[in-house]
Amino acid sequence: MDQVSIGGGQTLTRVPFSDYQDPALLDQEQRLLFEGPVWNYLCLETDIPNAGDWRTTFIGRMPVVVVRTEAGGIAAFENRCLHRGSLICLDNAGHAKDFTCVYHAWRYDLSGNLKSIAFSRGVNGKGGMPESFNPDDHATRKPRIETIAGLVFGTFSDATPDIETFIGPEVSAALHRIASRELKVIGRFTEVLPNNWKLYAENVRDSYHASLLHVFFATFRINRLSQGGGIDVSDNGGCAVSTTHAPTQETDTAYDGIRSVDDGLHLSDPSMLDAENEHGDTVRQQILSVFPGFAMQRTYNVMAIRQFVPTGVGRTNLNWIYLGYADDTPRLRRRRLKQLNLAGPAGFVSMEDGCIGNFVERGAVAARNGVSLLEMGGNGVESQETRATETAIRGFWKMWRRIMGQ
Ligand code: FES
Ligand SMILES: [Fe+2]
């Protein structure tokens, strides 16, 4: 494939470090990208099963409320009071008949429509809002909603295609495989990443690093590049799924001589890696990503969603949602919880992802004119039957640059 050229002569194999560092990009990304032609993960449908159930979430840095309406539908609106801008909902989740802002008690219905204003006629005939003020002239910002496999996504752009088209057939198949039964949240927390959100967006698309940075993966043969698998990238470049199959060979010398792997190590409690084959296939790990800020993984019996939310140019909130199935047996639920020691900020595998973005930030702090290099697996963004490739990262940048006009 030809070198893919971007406006200004850039190629997808080079990313200027300024793209992670420029504070001005944070506002541009909010306006053009997160509020642009993309699907933002909002919550699980099961987070809001009954009318009046709500959860707060984010579209980029914008706080958002997602609500189950009286009619059984899903509504979402910017979590910003139309009066003077206070958060309308302060907690992570709850149940309500309507929403009243804490500051001056402006009241909203479950769909985020302004319904009433305290003291709008003033007190004792004095003060109050002018006659000309009409609540109907003031509307909260509402994203368009779509659901897929029990997940709720929102977009502010009419130009965003339906979610199935946006993520493409391969990512869709992986998503439906993981969400093949009703999902149940079995844990959630936020990990603060000391780095730009795009370094994490790259990391979840970078299966080439997994068995090298995460020594646990290669040592205990959970994920080696020599196992079968590959990466599928959506047509728009922004969404991808990496798949790892079970090892087929007893002896695997692919990692001999690579300093990060020590085959002399053994787990003193190997039961942590006792896996149940729930799907009857050879897939051991799948990590899928949806542009811009969503990833979902399945490693053995571990399932998790990761939503990454920029909070500053060099700071990101990583919202982890651990998942089981609603009909898990107690034994299987215990197994998932035990294997979840692989994930999270102190996970045997994921802990390194919590610091590697900051290693890049610190390494490249004085490199504004330098570039990050993405040549593994060529220079295109096509799907490949190998994970020794950076094709999905190049796909991320293809979409980022198209939307940002860079
Ligand atoms: S800021 Fe919400 S009522 Fe005043
Ligand atoms: Fe990783």
Atom of ligand 1 nearest to the CA of 117: 3
Closest Cα to atom 4 of ligand 1: 104
**C-alpha 182 to ligand 2 mean position (Å):** 27
Task: Categorize the per-residue pLDDT at 213 as very low, low, confident or very high, splitting at 50, 70 and 90.
Answer: very high
Atom of ligand 1 nearest to the CA of 84: 1
Atom of ligand 1 nearest to the CA of 81: 2
pLDDT in tens, 144-154: 999 999 999 99
Q: What percent of the chain has pLDDT over 70?
A: 96
pLDDT in tens, 48-73: 999 999 999 999 999 999 999 999 99
- Domain map (residue ranges) of the chain: 40-145, 167-404
Residue list, ligand 1 pocket, CB within 6 Å: 81, 83-84, 86, 101, 103-106
Best mutation site among 104, 119, 140 for ligand 1 pocket (most ligand atoms within 8 Å of CB): 104
Task: Categorize the per-residue pLDDT at 8 as very low, low, confident or very high, splitting at 50, 70 and 90.
Answer: very low
Task: Categorize the per-residue pLDDT at 169 as very low, low, confident or very high, splitting at 50, 70 and 90.
Answer: very high
Residue (of 385, 223, 209) closest to 302 by Cα position: 223
Atom of ligand 1 nearest to the CA of 105: 3
Is it the case that residue 257 has pLDDT exceeding 80?
Answer: no
Q: Which pLDDT score, from 0 to 100, does residue 2 have?
A: 38
Is it the case that residue 4 has pLDDT exceeding 60?
Answer: no
pLDDT in tens, 176-196: 999 999 999 999 999 999 999
Mean pLDDT score, 139-147: 97
For the ranges 39-48, 55-64, 363-372, the lowest mean pLDDT is seen at: 363-372
Q: Which residues surround ligand 2, an ion (CB under 5 A)?
A: 353
Closest Cα to atom 3 of ligand 1: 104
Mean pLDDT score, 17-21: 97
**C-alpha 133 to ligand 1 mean position (Å):** 15
Pick the CATH number of 40-145 from 3.30.450.20, 2.102.10.10, 3.30.230.10, 2.60.40.10: 2.102.10.10
Pick the CATH number of 167-404 from 3.90.380.10, 3.90.79.10, 1.10.1040.10, 3.10.129.10: 3.90.380.10
Q: Which pLDDT score, from 0 to 100, does residue 216 have?
A: 85
**C-alpha 43 to ligand 1 mean position (Å):** 26
pLDDT in tens, 319-359: 999 999 999 999 999 999 999 999 989 999 899 999 999 99
Q: Which pLDDT score, from 0 to 100, does residue 250 have?
A: 67
Ligand approaching nearest to the C-alpha of 350: 2
